[in-house]
Amino acid sequence: MTDTVLETMLRRDRLIVAGALATLVIVSWAYLFWLAGSMDMEGMAGMAMPGMIPGSVMAPDVHAWSTTEFIFMVVMWVVMMIGMMTPSAAPMILLYARVGRQAALKGQPLAATGFFAGGYLMAWSLFSLFATIGQWGLEQALLLTPAMTSASNTLSGIILVAAGLYQWTPQKDACLANCQTPLYFIQRHGGFRRDALGSLQIGFKHGLYCVGCCWALMALLFVGGVMNMLWIAAIAIFVLAEKVLPPNRILSRIAGTALIAAGAWLLGAGAGAM
């Protein structure tokens, strides 16, 4: 294979990676829209949501989820996180693909981009496991409606205030900085890796920083509805904007202030209703 042919093939790598990411996002969102469309006020069409009595909107039947129900919910969260977070991770993954192409031209190829991307998604899959456990706990406490939305103004207010306060913390700033500056992140963690395990590990670390940046925003899904597609899209767009806009933290601060104000209003409304 001549160098010219090799260069031509390697130039296509970034396009191939971008196409694969786009396909992953489209499939994930298609599944979410299908799942949301199959839901009615009684739960899933043909399958009651965990903890709900078919035919009853207001009367949850608290019971331990079956293994099938738990796995179903974990898968739902995993797919949701893939659809929401892959667009914001794309710049980092494409950077890895470009550096990998350049390294291959020098005869020192990196591990396949899929290992890095896989490590990133593993971090969000771990988050999905904890999110499912959190959802189970809220359902057991009768704090979620059959539509998987907070059934309490007090709970919604607490989540909003907590998410808003987190937007102002040094932890948020540190995690966001690593998400906004891919090269800075790579340099701080030993550079690009040639072995598959090392690439998987650095992808996982990058994913953990993104989880650290966005976990509180994801908790807002319990406020607006776990399967409210407009709410999911709004959070995904905000996450993307936070990562691609200049790193001056203005957007994060404005959003944090708005969330605190909204949460305080709900807490006041909840207290007034008592």
What per-residue confidence (pLDDT) applies to 62?
57
What per-residue confidence (pLDDT) applies to 44?
41
Residue 187, token pair as written in the block: 């340099």
Question: Helix 196-219 to helix 229-244 angle, to the nearest 10 degrees?
Answer: 120
Please, what's the b/e burial string for 136-153 (b: 16 or more CB within 10 A of its CB; e: otherwise)?
bebbeeebbbbbbbbbbb
Question: Helix 67-105 to helix 229-244 angle, to the nearest 10 degrees?
Answer: 30
Per-residue pLDDT of the chain (274 residues; tens, 9 = 90+): 455 554 555 566 667 878 888 999 999 999 999 998 887 544 444 344 554 433 333 334 556 788 999 999 999 999 999 999 999 999 888 888 888 777 777 777 788 888 999 999 999 999 999 999 999 999 989 999 888 899 999 999 999 999 999 999 999 999 999 988 888 888 888 888 888 899 999 999 999 999 999 999 999 999 999 999 999 999 999 999 998 887 778 999 999 999 999 999 999 876 665 5
